Each structure stands twice: as structure tokens, then as C-alpha cells.
Chains A and B, each alone.
Chain A
Amino acid sequence: SQTIHQWPATLVQPVGSPLSLECTVEGTSNPNLYWYRQAAGRGLQLLFYSVGIGQISSEVPQNLSASRPQDRQFILSSKKLLLSDSGFYLCAWSETSGNNEQFFGPGTRLTVL
């Protein structure tokens, strides 16, 4: 069966510090991968998605970037965090063909102080 891992589970970082959140998927090959953010009281906002290694699409202009160095690894980064980057970050994967539900990881709670 497939599983998706995210770490860390929680993170407190000062403004201006760098960020690296990692997501890995097991039990599947060539998945589509996604990064979402849920800000307090808001819905799920799609930040990035990837259909293959090195292929990243950005949905919203922001202070963050994403990379996919391996087939089942997706990394969310920032060089300098802003207060507004605080939120709950979710990684998800889906099969590549047709309409398929997305399966979400446990999430990372990021607080920028």
C-alpha cells in the first residue's frame, strides 16, 4: 500500500530564516505531487504541483519554491521566511492517469515568529 510522509510535524522559525520541508511517497511510481497551504481560517491553497522529476508548476507567486530531486520526493523551500508564511503545509500525491483522488500527508505546522 502507498504511504506519504512529511517532516517535520511542527516547526517554529524566525523571520528571515530558511525553510526546507520534505515529503516522500512510498508504494507507487511516478506520482503527481502537490504542496498545499492551509492558512488559519482559510481553505486549501495549491502552491506547487509536479508531474515528474524536475518538473514544477507554481500556482501562486510567493516567497516559496519547490523541487523534486527524485521520483517520490518533493521539497518545499524558502530562502527567507516571512511572517505570512505561517500555516499548515500539506503534501499530497495522486496517480497520473485520469481523475484520481489526492492522498494527503499528515502536514507540517509552520510558525514564523
Chain B
Amino acid sequence: DQQVKQNSPSLSVQEGRISILNCDYTNSMFDYFLWYKKYPAEGPTFLISISSIKDKNEDGRFTVFLNKSAKHLSLHIVPSQPGDSAVYFCAASAGGTYKYIFGTGTRLKVLA
């Protein structure tokens, strides 16, 4: 049972436009969420996180939105740059535990 889902395996966006990556979850106990970026043949790198007590967290070009009632979060990248082309994973954990459940990833391609 996939508790964290990224239903779009790939996304293409023009440089300078907004990229929106979506993530849905099923476990209502999840209360902390993260986004990671991964280049081929490298380990993922942490981008941004959000706690369930918030509905938005912003860091530079990256903003994460959390809709708890819909069990949905999204990552917005504005403006998108070619260097943002990578696979993006969302991850979730429950109750301060150290176990994260990762989604299957979305491959973002930013076109110059």
C-alpha cells in the first residue's frame, strides 16, 4: 500500500515559469513532510519541509503548500531554471518518528 503518492511521473516546464509538483498521502497520522531533489546517480538532497501546524513554508524560489483536509501537498518552484531539472521526491513521517515514507518521484524537466 503506497501511503505517499506522486501521481505524475514526469513534468515539463518552460524556463522562467512555475513548476508545480504534487504529492498525496493516505495516512492521517503524517505530520511532517519533506521534499527532496535527486540528480541521476547521486543521493537525494533536502529541499524544504513543512510541519502539519503550517499550511505554507517558503524558502527562496521554493514554496511548499499543505492541505491537510485533502491530504495533499505541493511544491512550487518559481521561476523554474534548467538546473532544477531532476527527480523530486516527497516524504512523510508521523508523530516525530524517524521513519519517512517516500513517494515514487516526479521527473521535472525545465526547458530553456
Binding site for B on A (CB under 8 A): 4, 6, 32, 36, 42-46, 49, 51, 59, 88, 90, 92, 94, 96, 98-107, 109
Contact = CB atoms under 8 A, between A and B. Distances in A.
Contacts of A42: 104
- What is the interface residue range for chain B against chain A? 20 to 34
Interface string B90-112: 01010010111111110000000
Interface of B: 6, 32, 34, 36, 41-46, 49, 51, 89, 91, 93, 96, 98-105
25 contacts: A36-B102, A43-B6, A43-B102, A43-B103, A43-B104, A43-B105, A44-B89, A45-B102, A46-B99, A46-B101, A46-B102, A49-B99, A88-B41, A90-B43, A90-B44, A99-B32, A99-B96, A100-B98, A101-B34, A101-B49, A102-B34, A104-B36, A106-B42, A106-B43, A107-B42
B98 A32 contact: yes
A42 B101 CA distance: 13
B23 to A, nearest CB: 11
A98 B97 CA distance: 7
B98 A94 contact: yes
B99 A99 contact: no
Nearest to A96: B98
Q: Say what secondary structure dominates the interface of chain A.
A: strand
B104 A109 contact: no
B49 A109 contact: no
Given A43-B104, A43-B105, A104 B99 contact: no
3 A-B pairs closest in CB distance: A104-B43, A43-B104, A44-B102
A51 B93 CA distance: 16
A99 B97 CA distance: 7
A4 B46 CA distance: 14
Contact of B51 (A44, A49, A99): A99
A42 B103 CA distance: 9
A107 B89 contact: no
B75 to A, nearest CB: 14
B68 to A, nearest CB: 16
